[in-house]
A and B are shown apart, each in its own frame.
Chain A
Amino acid sequence: MARIALDHIAHSYLPEPKGSADYALKRIHYEWEDGGAYALLGPSGCGKTTLLNIISGLLTPSEGQVHYDGRDVTGLPPEQRNIAQVFQFPVLYDTMTVFDNLAFPLRNRKIAEPDVKKRVLEVAEILELSEVLKKRAANLSADAKQKISLGRGLVRSDVAAILFDEPLTVIDPHLKWQLRRKLKEIHEQLRLTLIYVTHDQVEAMTFAEKVVVMYEGEILQIGTPEELFDHPQHTFVGYFIGSPGMNFLPCTVAEGGAQVAGGRIALDPATFSLAQNATGELQVGIRPMYLELHDTAVANGLQASVSLVEDQGNCKIVTVQLNGTTLRARLPEEKPAPGERVWLVFPPQHTKLFADGRLLQEQPS
């Protein structure tokens, strides 16, 4: 196990990058704690796989250093970093049995055969593969194959971190949650450093203690699933996490609140005072589940028209038009569908303000 530090990493696939647009990774400076479960989350092309490859050693970054427990490993290949990796598609030694697959990394490291056997049996037990140890790996289902790929990392007692590159892509939907649970259990049990790359928010937020949201080569926010949902630091995080994503309205600061096209939205005092000193383009943001709809005029209510009500069974998604801006609200199942005309209320504690895409918040002193 190890603490992994990324020291001012930047990477470009071009030999002579010019502008920042040429960089696949812009400037990453972060330390991964020992024993943490992390997810790298972002849409395709955001740089998450590049970052994973830099951590694993498949890529050497154009700038910056990678440290494992303080040791500079920037130039070292994967095999000298003691990491294990699970790939998008199961990578197995087809001609070997499950047992031999799991034993392979140990035998390559010249571990004595009795120790190999003991360790393989232990790991097979954890992964529920004991029954199939004598079977040929090539004949198993995709989820068992991915467990074997993971097992080849788990058998090694020296492993610094296990990296996952969208490992559930080829798994049937109803088996996905079983594997997610297995991964979680393994993390609780073994406290290994796990880094998991995915574009799927369910996988990321279920798996990880800390989710790293990436967009266009930058880390936008690192936080617990709860923090990403309730306190997105960036409009992209607000949009990408949650379904539907956060609502945003362009606004200006007015007396006691934010002035939007359809009226005035009250802000809590702290946000309001930050807003007065803010520069750049301002936007109000609110999660659909916090946006209140009222059938009659209420204090601080903004009048809007309902354009669509989607019954999703366990909730209703209501699309409203507020003076040309489209907003979505999420109603619990028991609430009846609203009429054509509604009054919107933005509860101040859930109403966020963003300047040039970034959340306005008090700087930690």
Chain B
Amino acid sequence: MGLTLEKLDKIVGQEVHLKDIDLHFEPGSRNVILGRTLAGKTSLLRILAGLDRPTRGRLLINGEDYTGVTVRKRSVAMVYQQFINYPSMTVYRNIASPLLLAKLDTAEIDRKVRQAAEMLHIEHLLDRLPAELSGGQQQRTAIARALVKDAQLLLLDEPLVNLDYKLREELRIELQAIFERRESIVVYTTTEPAEALMLGGNIVVMDEGRVLQTGATPDVYHHPGTLKVAEVFSDPPINYLQGAVSGGRASFGEGIQIPLSGHLADLTDGDYMFGLRCNHLFLARRNPDDIELSARVTLSEINGSETFIHIVHGQDGLVVQDEGIHPVKIGSALSVFVNPSRLFVYNGGGELVASPVQGRY
């Protein structure tokens, strides 16, 4: 049961928008599609909605072939990046519009509209026109209109990307609670790992029109199957240093050598890429076996509650996440520390060979 995509391709002219997509969404599941711009997220959503037809492959809903069925005949609601509302209608009429089309009776419409408006905290704005609302309120209206429909499939295409970050923060928390109460399949696209993690559920990591990895969101985060997944699913992208293993020792970066232990113990000799997430790098030694990397600062960025320090270690650029807000001088030298137990290891083909054990430090 649920929604299944089989061997789906979407090719426009010479350009491959989607390639070999095989996915399954359970009813009532929350699904996040994570990928950078042009990864094919929107193309996939459009096919799920029935706005576009795949070049190859099938789309099954509860086992029935829906590949060629248009959006009008499907039970779909969609929210876009842009705040799309009917400009000449009040917020109330905007939210009510799908119900009016479905010819529900007035009392029922009124009840549903007020319920959806309340859920999104816009019940005091029902008489206003979209132009009189702030960006956040406009998007709340668009979301309410999508929710009121009770569609089997609820699609959201980076709905928060055009909002101020404070509004984004609030709406994310609210959306999470709203999705939890719904029985429909929710598919939500985003470019931000933090947003994906927050929404939880299942994740589909995409890049260049292909699905790279699927699974429960936290699992994929902690065990990114390829270097590319680790890059897409870390913000800032995961740091990596080229290295090798020989004779029970791993060497990487600028002359760093460590004995193999813990999750690294089984590594065979050969060339590897060592991945380090920026929040596993620290400015002070925390354990006796921490590795020290000497580096120079190229920029410090302050993001909400943490400072991202961009550094250069040898030839490689790395980013360190420092909790709290601290001034760092550009050009100054410093040492950063990482524990070997936090290393991700990828082989020459970019596939994961070892990842840190969770909850152990």
Contacts and interface: CB of A to CB of B under 8 A. Distances in A.
B193 interface: yes
B300 to A, nearest CB: 7
Given A44-B164, A188-B330, A240-B166, A330 B279 contact: no
Question: Which DSSP category, helix, strand, loop or mixed, fits chain A's interface?
Answer: mixed
A47 B325 CA distance: 26
B305 interface: yes
Contact of B37 (A172, A311, A312): A172
Contacts, number: 104
A201 B134 CA distance: 19
Interface string A325-339: 000001011101000
B293 interface: no
Contacts of B193: 313
Interface stretch (A76-84, A225-233, A254-262, A272-280): A225-233
Interface string B309-343: 01000000000010111110010000000000000
A277 B325 CA distance: 31
A314 B303 contact: no
Interface stretch (A1-9, A177-185, A295-303): A177-185
Given A201-B165, A312-B194, A313-B194, A288 B305 contact: yes
A333 B221 CA distance: 12
Given A225-B302, A229-B305, A330-B305, A313 B197 contact: yes
Contacts of A347: none
Contacts of B165: 200-202, 243
Contact of B304 (A180, A201, A313): A201
B327 A312 contact: no
A86 to B, nearest CB: 19
Contacts of A319: 173
B90 interface: no
Interface residues of A, number: 47
A173 B235 CA distance: 11
Contact of B134 (A44, A185, A243, A287): A44
Nearest to B298: A181
Contact of B324 (A206, A244, A289): A289
B299 interface: yes
Interface in A238-260: 239-245
A105 interface: no
B198 interface: yes
Interface SS, B side: mixed
Contacts of B194: 312-313
B205 to A, nearest CB: 13
B304 A310 contact: no
Contacts of A242: 304-305
B351 interface: no
A43 interface: yes
Interface string A151-186: 000000000000000000000111001001100110
B278 to A, nearest CB: 7
B324 A180 contact: no
A288 B233 CA distance: 24
B152 interface: no
Interface string B214-251: 00001001000000000001100000000000000000
B299 A314 contact: no
Contact of B299 (A181, A205, A245, A310): A181
A139 interface: no
Interface in A208-235: 224-226, 228-230
B169 interface: yes
A29 to B, nearest CB: 27
A24 to B, nearest CB: 17
A111 B142 CA distance: 55
A312 B305 contact: no
A224 B327 contact: yes
A336 B323 CA distance: 18
B52 interface: no
Interface residues of B, number: 42
B134 A289 contact: no
Contacts of B17: none
A177 B326 CA distance: 18
A43 B166 contact: yes
A315 interface: yes
Contacts of A185: 330
B112 interface: no
Nearest to B305: A242
A294 interface: no
Contacts of A334: 359, 361
B302 A202 contact: yes
Contacts of B323: 289, 332
Nearest to B233: A313
A48 to B, nearest CB: 13
Interface string B150-183: 0000000000000011100100010010000000
Contacts of A224: 327
B301 A180 contact: yes
A199 interface: yes
Contacts of A43: 164, 166
Given A310-B197, A333-B279, A225 B327 contact: yes
A292 B233 CA distance: 28
Nearest to B167: A43
B27 to A, nearest CB: 24
Given A240-B166, A243-B305, A314 B278 contact: yes
Given A245-B166, A312-B194, A333-B279, A287 B327 contact: no
Interface string B194-221: 1001101000000000000000001001
A221 to B, nearest CB: 14
Given A243-B305, A314-B277, A336 B359 contact: yes
Contacts of B221: 311, 313
Given A177-B310, A206-B302, 17 more contacts: A43-B164, A174-B36, A180-B299, A188-B330, A206-B299, A206-B300, A206-B301, A225-B325, A230-B325, A239-B166, A241-B304, A242-B305, A289-B323, A313-B233, A314-B277, A332-B323, A333-B280
7 tightest A-B CB contacts, nearest first: A243-B304, A314-B279, A205-B302, A229-B325, A181-B299, A206-B301, A242-B305
12 contacts: A185-B330, A201-B302, A206-B299, A225-B302, A239-B166, A287-B305, A288-B305, A308-B173, A311-B200, A313-B193, A313-B194, A333-B279
